[in-house]
Amino acid sequence: KPVLGIETSCDETGVALLRWEPAAPGRGLLSHALYSQIKLHADYGGVVPELASRDHVRKLLPLVREALAEAGLTPADLGGVAYTAGPGLVGALLVGASAARAMAWALGVPAIGVHHMEGHLLAPLLEEDPPEPPFVALLVSGGHSMLVEVQGIGRYRILGDTLDDAAGEAFDKTAKLMGLPYPGGPALAALAQQGRPGAFRFSRPMTDRPGLDFSFSGLKTQVLLAWQQSDQAEQTRADIARAFEEAIVDTLAIKCRRALQAAGAKRLVIAGGVGANKRLRAELAEAGEKEGFRVYFPRLAFCTDNGAMIALAGAIRLAAGQHQDESVQVFPRWDLETLPAV
Ligand code: ATP
Ligand code: MG
Ligand code: FE
C-alpha cells in the first residue's frame, strides 16, 4: 500500500505518495507536490522560523489533497505515513509531525519519523539504475556538507563534515555580499555561467593537508575582499561568481576522491541542494569517467527539499517493520550515525 511522505523541516512543504518497490523505487512514485516559501522569506533575506511554521500549517493539507488526487487515491488507500522528524526548525518539524501522526492515527496505519539527511542521501534511489551500497555519499545542502560512508540503509559513517559554513550556506552568503537577491545560491550559480575563466582565483580550503573535513567561511572573506577592491561591474561580478563556484566545486571533488579511496568504494552519490549545481555535476561525472568510479545524482527537483525522498526513506523503514509510537517527537539536531540499520 502507498506511503504518504511529508517534508516540513525548513521552508518547503513537500508531499509525495510512493508504493514500495524494492527493485526500482522510482517506479513506485505515484505523485509528488511541493510548495516553496521562498517569496515569503525574501524580504527578510533568510528563513523566518515563525513564518515558516505558519505557512506549513496553511499549505500542508491542500498539498496532501493535491498529491492524492494526482495519484487517483483516497486517504483510505494509504498504508503508512512518513514525516521529517529532524534535523530542522523545531516549529516547522512539529507541523509535519503532528499532521502525519494525526492522519496515521485516524487511518489506523503506522507512522515513521524520517531523518531529513537520510532522505537526501537516498534520493538518488528514485532514479533509473539506482546505486547499491556500499557507496560514498556527498551530502551538500543549506545546512550540511558531509561525506558519508554508506554500508546499507541506516549504516552510515561520517567521514568528513564542515567546520563552519555548509556548502549551500557559503553559496547563499557569498551571493548576498555581492548584492544578489535571496536565495542567492542558484542566482550565483546562474551568474557564474557568464564568468570568464581565469579572471579571478580563490583557494581550495583544506585541500593542502590530509583529512576529509571542509571549511568554507574563509572563501567568503576572499570573495568579499575581491569584490570590494573591484570595479563592481556586472562582468566582474560574474567573473568572481565563477571563480568562487570553481573553488567550491574543486574542493568538493578533491575530497570526494579521497573519501572514495578511504572507503575503498567505486560508487559516489551526490545529494542535497548544491547537488543541483551544474558545474559540480559535470566535474564529478567527468572525474568518474576518467578515474573509474560511478556517480549517481537525483534529478534536479529531488536535490533540494521534497516529499518524495521522505516517502522513500519512510517506505523502506516501514517495510522493515520500523515505526514510531503515538508520542510525537521531533529532533532539531539529530546525528545521522545513530539511526537504526534496516
Ligand atoms: P539541510 O538539508 O541541510 O537541512 P536545506 O534543506 O535548507 O538544508 P536544501 O533544500 O537541500 O537545503 O538545499 C538548499 C541549498 O542548496 C541552498 O543553500 C541553495 O543555495 C543551494 N542550491 C540550490 N541550487 C543550487 C545550485 N544550482 N548551485 C549551488 N547551490 C545551490
Ligand atoms: Mg529550502
Ligand atoms: Fe534539505
In the numeric block, the cell 539529530 is attached to 334
Q: Is the CB of 101 under 6 A from ligand 1?
A: no
Q: What is the pLDDT of residues 150-186, one digit of tens each?
A: 999 999 999 999 999 999 999 999 999 999 998 899 9
What is the β-pairing status of strands 80-86 and 111-115? parallel
- Of the listed ligands, the closest to the CA of 169 is 1
**What are the binding residues?**
116, 120, 139-143, 172, 185, 277, 305
The reported pTM is 0.98
pLDDT at 8 over 90: yes
Cis peptide before 134 (omega within 30 of 0): yes
- Three cell numbers written together for 47: 528563513
At residue 110, the pLDDT reads 98
3-state DSSP assignment of residue 153 = coil
pLDDT at 29 over 90: yes
Q: Pick the closest to residue 116 from 319, 341, 334, 340 (CA basis).
A: 334
Span from the CA of 78 to the centroid of ligand 1 (angstroms)? 30
Which contacts of 276-280 are long-range, i.e. CB under 8 A and separated by 24 or more positions?
A: 276/186, 276/300, 276/303, 276/304, 277/189, 277/245, 277/249, 278/189, 278/193, 279/189, 279/192, 279/245, 279/246, 279/249, 280/140, 280/248, 280/249, 280/252, 280/253
Mean pLDDT of the chain, nearest integer: 97
DSSP 214: B
In the numeric block, the cell 525522498 is attached to 309
Measured from the Cα of 185, ligand 1's closest atom is 20
At residue 114, the pLDDT reads 98
Give every strand in the sheet of 155-160, ordered side by side: 155-160, 145-152, 135-140, 267-271, 294-296
At residue 241, the pLDDT reads 98
